[in-house]
Structures are given as structure tokens and as C-alpha cells.
Amino acid sequence: MRAYGIVLWLLLPVAGAAYHWGPGQRRLELDEITQMLAKADQAAKEEIWDEALVLYTDALARLPEGELETARRIRLELAKVRMNASELPRARADLQSLVDELQQDAKSDPALLAEAREALANAKFYMTWLMRLEGVARDEWEPEIDSARELYRFLAEEAKESGDMKAVERHRESLEAAIKLARMDLKELQGLPLPSQ
């Protein structure tokens, strides 16, 4: 019995090393990614967009396969940062892709889908604003703002069904802003400061 205990005692370092070099490596990688995401979140909160962009991009690239929900969350935050880092067209395309993906996956998180839809509606709103300032023809910018209005309306109805009245109010205000943007005269629009998040 004593020999059995000694053998077990001697095998403990082997088992520890096996864990460390096996599944432990994945855990270490996930811990490093979590730290990167915390730094990225802080940079975004402080509006240091370039730093947040690099950190989110690196975290997404290093994320191991099988972490689908985490990857989707990072993609959403990355797109939000891109909107503020003068990469609006790319952010809009990334958000459209993410929303399409989430809608097709029945197991996706509904809260993440709602947040992605709201970010996409915001991107479409800002794209319309810029398109109008650049003098793009109405038949090009109008579908963009119409899509934003539909998303805001859908989000308001969805929030009302869930009983989130703060979200309902926020989406209704965004809907009104989108309607106002579509109806606004170009000279009036040029006199306004660019909208922010």
C-alpha cells in the first residue's frame, strides 16, 4: 500500500506537466485574450480608438477555434470601434455580415443580435449622413436610411415586447432622427455638426 502511495506521489508532477502542456495551454491562451479584451474595452471607453482597434483585432486573431460566441462579441465591439476610427464603410459591412450570421443561427444570443442590429442601424444612419454631405444622389442614400429606419422600428417593437422601456425610448429617438435626416434639406444638414455615437 505504501509503495502504491509513493508511485502516485511520483506521478503527480507527470500529470501536472501533461495538463500544463495539453489543455492548460488553451486555458493560458484564453486568459491572455481576456486580458487583451479588458485593455481593449478600457481603450474604447477612453476613446483611444487606434489602440482599441489593434487590441480587438489581435484578440480575435488569437482566439482558439470553437469560441464562436466570444468571436461574435469581439467582432461586434471591433465594428463599433471601426465606426469611431474613420472606418465606417468597413464597419457597416462587418456588421451586416454579423447580423446575417446571427439571424441564421437559431442558437445565437438574442441580446447580441439586438445589439448588432442597433450598431448596424447606427452605421447605416452615419453612412447616410456622410453620403448626403458628399452630394450622393438620393436614389443611392435613400435605401440606406430606409433600412436604418426599419431596424430602429423593429428594435423598438422588440424592446416593447420585452418590457425594456428605456430601450424603446432610445430606439424611437433614433427612428425620429433617421426620419428627420431623410427629410432634412442639404443646406440645413451642412450647418449641423457631425453626429457622434
pLDDT, tens only, 11-22: 556 555 455 555
Does the predicted model carry a pTM greater than 0.85? no
- Look at 125 and 12; give whichever has higher pLDDT: 125
pLDDT, tens only, 158-184: 999 999 999 999 999 999 999 999 998
Closest CA to 39 of 26, 24, 58: 58
CB atoms within 10 A of CB 105: 12
